[in-house]
Structure formats: structure tokens, C-alpha cells
Amino acid sequence: MLLGLTCVALVAASFYIEHVLGIDPCPLCIVQRYAYAGLIPVFFAGAMVRTHVPAQRALLWVAAILTAGGLGVAGYQTYLQLFPAPLVTRCGASLSYLLDTVAFTEVLARLLHATGDCSDTSFRVLGLTLAQASLLMFLSIALCLVTLLRRKPATA
């Protein structure tokens, strides 16, 4: 339940940063937001299922896959921020425009090859860029999931 609430807070914070502070997210930020949003129902469903039943284990594995994807995207964005491409000014067209005008597979390719705004490090939280903070959150979630998946069922 705590992991689900954490993801709710992270998604809410991302909307606050976007809509209240006026900082536009890059495509990689949006993918990370979707990963957090995808984790919310998985964690809440996992909290409602009895401990150590196959359904809970399956939900934990789904969460692990989503977390690994988010971890990879946050890691890639952190790489872009640490080693920005020279003379790049933007990530590209907005995600909504891309989804309306090109094939989904091309959108994925463009998202994963984003540059420019994705390497912007001007906004920081506790001294970390948003990508670094997200990387740290995904890593924390991954460690929690490893701990939960390694638990042995209690013997009666």
C-alpha cells in the first residue's frame, strides 16, 4: 500500500511541477510518469490480495517489469543530462502531437532517442535533477520489490 501511495504522490508532484510551476516535461519525463501511474493499480491490487498467494507474486513481477522500464528511462535521461549532445536545443515535438500524427512504433523510437530538453538540469529537487530523483525513486522501489519477491512463505 505504501508503494502505491508513493507512486500517487510522485504522479501528483509531476503534475504540480508541470501545471503550477510551469515546467514542461520532456518525452522521457512523460514515460516515467506513465511508469509511476502504471504502478499505482498494481501496488493497490497487490495490497488487497492475501500475502504469499500466486496472484500477489504475479503482481509483484508486473511491478518489477514496470519499475525496470522506468529505471531504464530515468537512467537514460540521467545519462543525457550528464553528457548532453552538443548544439541540441529540444527533445522534439510534443508527445500528444506525435501520437496524433505518426505510428506508435515511431513514437516509441522518438521517445527513446530524445535529446535537448531532456538534458535540461535547471530544475532541481534536494540538489538532484528530476531525472536523478526519479532514478533514485525507481531504484528504491526496485529494492523494495526485490525484498518482497525474496520473502519466503510463512509455514503454518
* Residues with Cβ within 8 Å of residue 93, at least 6 apart in sequence: 110
Percent of the chain with pLDDT over 90: 48
pTM recorded for the entire structure: 0.78
Mean pLDDT of the residues in the chain: 84
What is the per-residue pLDDT across 87-111, written as a single tens digit (0 to 9) for each?
A: 444 455 566 676 778 787 777 666 6
CB atoms inside a 10 Å sphere around CB 16: 11
Phi, psi at 7, each rounded to 5°: -65, -35
Give strand ranges (E) for 1-147.
Answer: 124-125, 128-129
CB atoms inside a 10 Å sphere around CB 91: 24
Separation of CA 21 from chain center: 20
Determine the pLDDT at residue 20.
Answer: 93
Mean pLDDT (whole number) for 27-48: 93
More confident residue, 80 or 12: 12
User: Which CATH architecture group holds 2-150?
Assistant: Up-down Bundle (1.20)
What is the per-residue pLDDT across 10-37, written as a single tens digit (0 to 9) for each?
A: 999 999 988 898 888 888 888 999 999 9
More confident residue, 12 or 115: 12
